[in-house]
Structure 1
Amino acid sequence: NGIPVRPIESTIHSSTRNISQFLDKIIRPIFDEKCASTTIIDGTSLIKELLKYIKKGLLKPTTLFCTFDIRNLYTMLPQDEALDILVEFLQFYGYTKVKGINLETIRELAAIVLKENVFVYGKKIYKQVLGGAMGSSFTLTLANIFMWKWQKELVRRQDMTGEFYGRYIDDIFMTWNKSEKSLKDLLDDANKWHPNIKLEYSIGKSLPFLDVSFTNNNGILTISVYHKPAAESYVVPFRSDHPRHVFVNVIQTSLSRAVRYSSTFENFNNERRYIQLTLLYNG
């Protein structure tokens, strides 16, 4: 009917699940260690990195923020190329074996996880020939390693000028101290680096990223909690049959986030009122 869909395969109880979990267990720690400087873990880690950026004197009244996301990263991974980049990544960091397993065997195991995904729909059997199963644990690590290769040029350019570059899976946050046109030219060029990697970007002095809103207020960084417009104000209803500590945790977590993500007392009070109204709305 002309409605675009995204294939999301559940790999629970599948024949590739154990291999996927094993590869993820031995390779993800390597990625996490080697790529920590360009990896955003959560909103708090990004705030800490931007505070370092400010201490270097790089945040100016004209500094721009840029966020962009990669469209359908998991399902657009070219399979053979992703496997080649996996081996390249391990070799780049000096690995010939991982946990006693040589790289050729690791590639073969990864190929099974990536390529042997079949499902039944409408009495027909389908095989995934592009990307990986979103329900497979190793798909995330493989996507991260693929992006390690793709983003190299962006990271190099940002490092040369002292600007910040950080990535949370398929979402990227950057700072920029040149003209907006030069940034758009760079991103438009990056859109041509790989036929499967397409990005959609936003540029400005005030942008949200994950659950944080960042504003460059004339050279002063202002932060607050960000709520997506489509997000519903729902939490566990107070009258539901849950252990009492669940409700306490909801309040503590919300208030803790408000404290961490509020650069002014006014922003904290705004978020506190939002939390209060949400709790009242949910009984």
Structure 2
Amino acid sequence: LDIVIKPADKNVGVVAIDVNVYESKSLQQLNNTEFYRRLDYNPNRKTFNLIKSQLEQLLNNKQINKTIHNSIIPKYPGLGIFYILPKIHKPHSPGRPIISNVQHSTHRLSKYLSKILSPFIPVLSNIASTDYNISHYVILKDTNHLLMEIERFNQFVNQNHLNLRNLTLLTADISSMYTNIPQDEGTQTLSHFIQKYCNLINFKLDHITLAILLKLVLENNYFTFKGFFYQQIKGTAMGTSCAPEYSNIYVFMQEIPIFQQFIRYLIRIFRFLDDVLLFWFLQDQQNQQSSILIKTFIETLNNNKHLQYNFEQSTKTINYLDLTITINHLLNRLETTLYTKPTNTFQYLHYESSHPRHIIQNIPLSLSNRITRICSSLTSRWEQYFLLFCRLLARQHDPLNLLNKILRYRDSNRIELVEKTFNKMFSITPSQIPSATPPPIVHKNIILPYNCQLPSFQQLFSKEFDIIVPDIYRFVYTLPTNLQRMLVRSKYPASFSTVPPIHHPPPTDVSACLEPDPY
């Protein structure tokens, strides 16, 4: 039996797929001529020369400077590699198409576009407030950000004496967001956005130059699968660096006018990429009236044929990201607890793994920290502590270490822990460091292969050879070869080139391994 091994979508496990099924699911995507076109030639050299020529022309026209030009010019010709990640959390396990563009001729350009567009994402909330009079539209950075916003909402409810029996929770995901945004319309939307809002940040390009660079990335998305060459003709690929920023801005410009029409009922709007969370509030609402209004809102939002929102709604509890959000009618507040997908196998690192010991020892600490931050009630918190203890015990972790690490955060102030974690990840930037503070050390890395039996080189040099390693140098260890790195590849194996696909494969579901080997 020939198999392909891939990580599951959403990082919920590892999947072994029959090669016929994998190829069939891949070709089901690639044979869709609305999104992909198969080529009868190798576009590699042509694409490389085109991009170099266009960038040289922009440099000669002084639309970009020499520094920008040198940072985005491709060094070598290269194409993307197509693969799919099985969505085992969905019926029949469809594949999520990914194009690895690390070797692509547009990779450096796409990274640059991501860098210059990313500062716009935090200011989308300000644009919603100033231009559309929506003061509670939030682009989420992570779960901690949402937890902080929910706490602020609870304070808002308390201060304004709102009755949460009038609240409906709505979540939505945008179907295949990256691949459904038309390239021409997306480029025009981004160009108009930059033209209007470039003064909000220190944006270095004019809107015309941005449109040219963006089209180079979108229209030259060539890749290979099974030795054949393809071009993506609609949307942008998951895998190209600028896709999140490009899609975020496009979706914002499409949805914000519709949110404005229903602002009377939408008291909170959250979005994390293609996942949306809405708090719908209708004072003294009648169920029938609320249902009609929500239905009208959803139909209006889905009038855009390129962006289709798949909604779920509840007046009690709903899942969003890794949270389960519940309306506590007794306390008149929102409560949160940890949500895990049913397909999660909880295959944490085994205690006998050759990973560095400090990583193994701190797994229960980091996971209990997460539980403490997410679970707002003591009942759910202790329930999750117990489940974590059992799952790590099954991975042969030391029981005493588990108890000490898991219970370390039991008395911590949950909100302070959330804010501390959030600030550590997002708020501390070089511009916020006081001028009196000495600049951080720019290290020179000494890169070595990692092995658990290697001693600390700094201690070895100082004790055995009486050599003091200056602070400017630090030892950095590469990841060792492991089974996953040996077995999981983006590129489709050449040995499978003669495998015939199943042209009409039956719907396939995933079977969990009931007794996974602990190693």
- State TM-score, norm by structure 1: 0.92
1:233/1:278 contact within 8 Å kept: yes
Which residue type is aligned with residue 45 of structure 1?
H
Q: What is the RMSD of the two structures over their aligned residues, measured on CA atoms? A: 2.1
Match of 1:175 among 269, 279, 283: 279
Match of 1:65 among 165, 169, 173: 169
- After superposition, residues 139-178 of structure 1 pair within 5 angstroms as 139-157=243-261, 159-161=263-265, 163-178=267-282
Quote the residue 1:191 is aligned against: 302
The 2-side partners of 1:274 and 1:113 are apart by: 46
Please report how far the alpha carbon of residue 56 of structure 1 lies from its aligned counterpart in structure 2 after TM superposition.
Answer: 2.2
Match of 1:18 among 108, 114, 129: 108
Match of 1:239 among 352, 362, 378: 352
Which residue type is aligned with residue 120 of structure 2?
I
Match of 1:125 among 229, 233, 239: 229
Which residue type is aligned with residue 374 of structure 2?
Y
1:214/1:221 contact within 8 Å kept: yes
Please report how far the alpha carbon of residue 32 of structure 1 lies from its aligned counterpart in structure 2 after TM superposition.
Answer: 2.5
Cα distance change, pair 61–52 in 1 and its aligned pair in 2 (3 A):
same
Structure 1 window deviating more from structure 2 (45-54 vs 202-211): it is: 45-54
Please report how far the alpha carbon of residue 69 of structure 1 lies from its aligned counterpart in structure 2 after TM superposition.
Answer: 0.1
The 2-side partners of 1:209 and 1:119 are apart by: 34
Quote the residue 1:43 is aligned against: 143
Alignment gaps of 5+ in structure 2: 1-20, 30-95, 127-136, 283-289, 397-519
The 1-side partners of 2:373 and 2:262 are apart by: 27
Please report how far the alpha carbon of residue 48 of structure 1 lies from its aligned counterpart in structure 2 after TM superposition.
Answer: 1.6
The 1-side partners of 2:200 and 2:372 are apart by: 46
Which residue type is aligned with residue 55 of structure 1?
Q
2:99/2:238 contact within 8 Å kept: yes
Which residue type is aligned with residue 195 of structure 1?
K
Higher normalized contact order (CA 8 Å, seq sep 6+, divided by chain length) = 1
Match of 2:119 among 29, 32, 37: 29
Which residue type is aligned with residue 79 of structure 1?
Q
Please report how far the alpha carbon of residue 59 of structure 1 lies from its aligned counterpart in structure 2 after TM superposition.
Answer: 5.4
**May I ask how many residue pairs the two structures share in their alignment?**
282
Match of 1:212 among 319, 323, 327: 323
The 1-side partners of 2:372 and 2:395 are apart by: 22
The 1-side partners of 2:203 and 2:333 are apart by: 47
Quote the residue 1:77 is aligned against: 181
Counterpart secondary structure, 2:153:
helix
- State TM-score, norm by structure 2: 0.52
Match of 2:310 among 179, 200, 203: 200
Counterpart secondary structure, 1:114:
helix
The 2-side partners of 1:26 and 1:94 are apart by: 11
Quote the residue 1:271 is aligned against: 384
Alignment gaps of 5+ in structure 1: none
The 1-side partners of 2:140 and 2:217 are apart by: 26
Percentage identity across paired residues of the two chains: 25
Query: Is it true that 1:258 corresponds to 2:358 in the alignment?
Result: no
1:118/1:126 contact within 8 Å kept: yes
